[in-house]
Structure 1
C-alpha cells in the first residue's frame, strides 16, 4: 500500500508504518560498514599463535639425576654438574625439584655488569613500545591468554617440577589467577589508563582539567618462589600494558621454571612484531640484587617476599627515590562467628590452610572460633588433616607412576627445624597438637621436602607461633568468647594482609570485616579478592604498602600527569589584575583584593560573599 501526495511518496509496512527508502538504505549501509569494521577489528586484534617447546624435565622419558643433599649454595658442584660453566670467580644457582630432589639445571648467575646491561636493553626497547596503541598491547595479552589456556597442563607441570606443588594447586594458584589478570587487562586495562577528566572549582571555571597516565619507562619486579608462573607473569603483563619495559628478578629457588615462563612472553612479543628485549630476566642471589634496586633507570619496583628482604629493597630504592610497592608477610585470620554451619565451610577452611602446602601469602594462618564450637571444629580439622597425603603430582621418570597427593612439598627443608621449634614451644605454653608437627618421609621420594599437615589447638594468641608467619601446612585454631575479643585477636599481630569472616548472617560478617586491620577481606570465602582482578591487592602495617591489581595497581606503574588548559582560550584566559602585578604598588591594597577574593569564592554566607566582592572591587579601583 502507498500514499502519494504533492510532497510525500512513502511505502507502508505491513503494520501500517511508513518506510523511508533513504532511511532504510542508510540503515543497511551503516550495518554493512559496522559488520566490515567488526570483521577487520577482529582480524586486527586476533590472538597470534606462537609456540615454545616444553622442557624435557617434565616428560616421562627424562633421565633424572637425584641430588644427595639439595642445596642452593653458590658454586655448588655435585658430581660434575657444572661442566659448561668453568668460571671459578662466578656464582651458580642449582635448580632442583624439592618433591623428588631431582636436579633440574645449574645456571650461571648474572654479574653486576650483566644486570646493568639488561636494564639498559629494557630501557632502549621501551622507547618504541611506549608509543604503541592499546590495540597492540591487547593483542599481546590476548595471545598470551590463548597460549596459556592451550598449554595449561604443560605450565602446571613446569610449576610443579620447580616447587613441588600439586597439579591442583598449580591450576588454582597459577593458571586461573593469571588468566583472570590477562582477561581484566584485555577488557578493562585501557579504561583504567585512559585520560580522566577532573572537576574544576569556581575560580577555575574557565579551565579544562584532566589526568593522563603515562609510562614510567623501565620498571622492576622482585618476586617470591611460591607461584613461579603467576608471580612472574603478573608484574610483567601489567608493566607491558602500561607501556613500560620490565626487568624481573625472581627467587633463585624457581629460576628454572621462571626462565621458561619468561621465554614464552618473549616469543609472544616477537610473534606480535615487538622487541623481546622489553622483558628481561635477572638471575642472581639476593645479595647481588642492588644492581637492580639501586639503578637510576629503574623507575618503579614491585616486591613480593619477606618483610626482612622488603626492608632492604625499600632502603636501596631511596638511592634514586624509586617508588616501591611492597607485598610482604601475612598472618591472615579467619573469624568464625557463633552458630556458623561448620560442615558448610570446613572444606574452604581446609583449602585456605593447606593449599600450596601452606605457602600462600593470603593463606589462612589463624582460625578464630567461638568457644561453643571449638571442640567440633578442632575434631573436624584433626580427622581431615590426618587423611591428607603429602606427595608429588608428576610421574617419576622411568616408572611412569604418579602417587596420589593432596599436599605437595615445601620449597625447601631449611625451615623445618624452625617450624618444629615453634610448634614445640607452643605446646609447652598449653597448645594441643593432634596431627603432624614434623617432616614427613615419602616412601618413594625419600629426599623430598615434605612437612606433615599439622593441627594445633588452644593456641595462645601471644605465642610466637600465633604472632609470626609460618608459611607452612599448619592449622592454628584459637577460641574466643566475644566478638570484640575475636577482633582484638585478629588485629593483634604486626601483619595486615588478608582475612576471612564466616557466619550465618551476612550483615554481621560485614560489620566484623570493617573492623579488621587489613587490606582485603572475604566474607564466607577465602582469598577470592584476588580472583577479581578489578580489586587492588595489598596490605597494611608490616604486610607492606602500595597495591597491585585493579586500576590502582596498573596506575602505580605510570606517571600520573595533571594537565590544565583554557576551555575558551579565545575569550578568557588567566590574567594578573593590576593590583597584583609586579612591581606591587601597595601591599595593603593587594592584600585587600586577595582577601576579598577568598571571601567571595569560599565564604558560606551570601552576605559575607557580597561584602567580600565589594572589598575586591574597592581594592582594584584605588
Structure 2
C-alpha cells in the first residue's frame, strides 16, 4: 500500500517484576534493571534470600545514581523474602523476569497465567563444551578449566558437559588433570586460594550425589583439587574441583544441571555424533565449540539446539551485552540484553496511517460499500485474482475486470439476491 506508512511503536509496559537468583548478585540485579528502566519502565526486584544483604547494598548505589540525574528514587526497588514474596510480586506487575530453576520457573508461569502477563524465564543450563581433534590442546584445556570452575561452577552458562574427539581425548584429559590438581578451594579474600565456596551446604552434598551416581554406573575420578585449611565448620561448603571420565548419558551427572566445579569428559568420533550427544539434553542455554577450522566450528554450533554459541571461546556471547541472552527447552525462553531484551520490556504496537493525508484518503470501492452492489462479489473475486492470480495473464484479465466494474454505474442494490454460478 504505497499510500500508507506502516511502523512499529514500542511503549513501556509499566512495572516490571524480576525474581533473581543468588549466584551473581550484582549482575542479576543490574541486568533486568537496565532493560526495564532504559525501556521506560519501573522495576521491583526480588532478590534471593541467600543474597539479601548484597541486594540491599546495590539498591543504595542505584538510588544514589537515580537521584544524581533527577530521576525518582523509587523507579527501582529491591525487596527480600521467601517464596510468598515472589508469589505476591508476580500478581502485582505487568511483566515478570525470572532467573532460577525450571521447577520454580514453571510455578512462575502458572501464577502469571492468572493475569496473563508476559514472562521471561532464564532457567539454567547444561552447556556442551566440544573439542575437535585439530585444536591446540593446552590452550583449550585452560579455557575448559575456566568454563567449569569459574564461580566454583555456580554459573548458569558454565561448561557442564565436555565432549572431546577421540584422537586428542587422552592428551586433553592429561592437561585438564594437571590444571585441576593445581587448584585449591578456600576463602578467596585470603589471597591463597584459586576457587571459592559452594553457596549452600546442601548443594555441596548434591554435587557429591551426582558424582557418586556416575561412579556407580562405571565412571572414574581421575583428578581432584584440594581444599585448604579453612576450619572444620566450613569444610562442607568447599567442593574440590573434580575431573570424571568414562561418563555416558545414563548418568545424572550428564543430564542434570550440576552447578558445581565438575568436569565430566566424554569422547566422540565424528561431528555427527557430537551434535547428537550435545543435543541429547533437556537444557538448551549455550555451547562452546573448538576447532582449528572456524568454518567447521560454526557448522557444528549451527546444529545445536541452544540459545547462544561461542566459537573457539567460552561464554563470550554472554559477555557481549549487545547480544540477546537466553535459551530453549528447560533453559527457558525470552531474552535479556541487546535490542531483544529492551523490546521484551515493551508493549509492541503496529501503527498504519495515510502517507499523504488529507490529500489521499482510504476509500471503500463503491461496489463493496454497504449495501453491497449486485456486482460486489464479482468485483471482490476479480480483485483477489488481480493480487494472487497464478500467472501474469490471469492477473491482467482480472485487473481489466476490476477497472471495468469501477467505471460502470453500479445498479441499485437489491435484497435477497443470489449469485448464479
TM-score of the pair, normalised by structure 2: 0.93
Out of 328, 331, 339, the position equivalent to 1:540 is 328
Q: CA deviation at 1:599?
A: 1.9
Out of 176, 188, 209, the position equivalent to 1:421 is 209
- The equivalent of 1:115 in structure 2 is none
- The equivalent of 2:85 in structure 1 is 288
- The equivalent of 2:416 in structure 1 is none
Determine whether 1:500 maps to 2:274: no
Q: CA deviation at 1:613?
A: 1.1
- The equivalent of 1:359 in structure 2 is 154
Determine whether 1:329 maps to 2:124: yes
Contact 2:186/2:230, CA 8 A, preserved across alignment:
no
Contact 2:102/2:331, CA 8 A, preserved across alignment:
yes
Determine whether 1:488 maps to 2:283: no
Superimposed CA distance per residue, residues 421-459 of structure 1 (whole angstroms, 9 cap, x where no aligned partner):
22112112111112339xx76423433311111110111
Structure 1 residue runs without a partner (length 5+) = 1-203, 395-401
- What SS does structure 2 have at the residue aligned with 1:475? strand
Contact 2:306/2:327, CA 8 A, preserved across alignment:
yes
Out of 602, 606, 611, the position equivalent to 2:392 is 606
What is the total number of aligned residue pairs between the two structures?
Answer: 406
Out of 234, 237, 240, the position equivalent to 1:452 is 240
- The equivalent of 2:102 in structure 1 is 307
- The equivalent of 2:363 in structure 1 is 575
Instruction: Map 1:126-525 onto structure 2 (within 5 A).
Output: 204-295=1-92, 298-394=93-189, 402-436=190-224, 442-448=228-234, 449-525=237-313
- Cα separation, 1, equivalents of 2:4 and 2:203: 60
- Cα separation, 1, equivalents of 2:232 and 2:361: 79
Bigger RCO (CA 8 Å, 6+ sep) = 2
- What SS does structure 1 have at the residue aligned with 2:202? coil
- Cα separation, 1, equivalents of 2:91 and 2:144: 42
Contact 1:331/1:495, CA 8 A, preserved across alignment:
yes
- What SS does structure 2 have at the residue aligned with 1:266? helix
Q: CA deviation at 1:529?
A: 0.2
Contact 2:133/2:168, CA 8 A, preserved across alignment:
yes
Structure 2 residue runs without a partner (length 5+) = 411-421
Contact 1:366/1:477, CA 8 A, preserved across alignment:
yes
Superimposed CA distance per residue, residues 21-55 of structure 1 (whole angstroms, 9 cap, x where no aligned partner):
xxxxxxxxxxxxxxxxxxxxxxxxxxxxxxxxxxx
Contact 1:391/1:403, CA 8 A, preserved across alignment:
no
Superimposed CA distance per residue, residues 339-363 of structure 1 (whole angstroms, 9 cap, x where no aligned partner):
3220121111110010000011111
- Cα separation, 2, equivalents of 1:279 and 1:485: 48
Contact 1:461/1:478, CA 8 A, preserved across alignment:
no
Contact 1:233/1:262, CA 8 A, preserved across alignment:
no
Q: CA deviation at 1:285?
A: 0.3
- CA root-mean-square deviation: 1.5
Contact 1:534/1:549, CA 8 A, preserved across alignment:
yes
- What SS does structure 2 have at the residue aligned with 1:434? strand
Q: CA deviation at 1:604?
A: 5.5
- What SS does structure 2 have at the residue aligned with 1:234? helix
Q: CA deviation at 1:605?
A: 2.8
- Cα separation, 1, equivalents of 2:59 and 2:77: 8
- Cα separation, 1, equivalents of 2:84 and 2:273: 42
- What SS does structure 1 have at the residue aligned with 2:402? helix
